[in-house]
Amino acid sequence: MISNSCQKIGNQWLIPYPWKKNPEHLPDNRAIAEKKLEATERRLQRNPEHAAAYNRQIEELCEMKFSRKLTEEEIKNYKGPVHYISHHGIVRPGNESTPLRIVFNTSSNYK
């Protein structure tokens, strides 16, 4: 499945997420994803150093074009399924290059 869906674009590979279930059948979990994001933000506010490291990693994801912010028009016009993947930071003591690593929780259950 993965090898059939991989594409090389410039110097990077585009590999679609290998869903176990058709994402069209996943529930809209925005409410729980927002609560998890708020909890992550509260934890980061207590440690400015971790917050800065988290922010740098999010910026790197955007710079590398692994993620981007959607425009209001894209959000308004989208008619497909919606399911959010929450993320949080894992502290890595002793690692100076990445003292905090972002982890995406793809195994989170909702309904």
**In this structure, is residue 13 part of a structural domain?**
no
pLDDT for the residue numbered 66: 86
**In this structure, is residue 48 part of a structural domain?**
yes
Task: At 86, list the tokens.
Answer: 């929450």
**In this structure, is residue 80 part of a structural domain?**
yes
Is residue 103 predicted with pLDDT exceeding 90?
Answer: yes
If one counts the domains in the chain, the total is 1
Global pTM value: 0.76
What is the domain extent for residue 38? Answer: 22-105
What is the maximum span of the chain, computed from C-alpha positions, in angstroms? Answer: 45
Kindly report, residue by residue over 27-61, the tens digit of the pLDDT: 899 999 999 999 999 999 999 989 999 999 999 99
**In this structure, is residue 101 part of a structural domain?**
yes
Report how far residue 111's alpha carbon sits from residue 103's, in angstroms, rounded to the nearest whole number: 22
**In this structure, is residue 32 part of a structural domain?**
yes
Quote the crossing angle between the two packed helices 48-63 and 30-45, to the nearest 10°.
Answer: 130
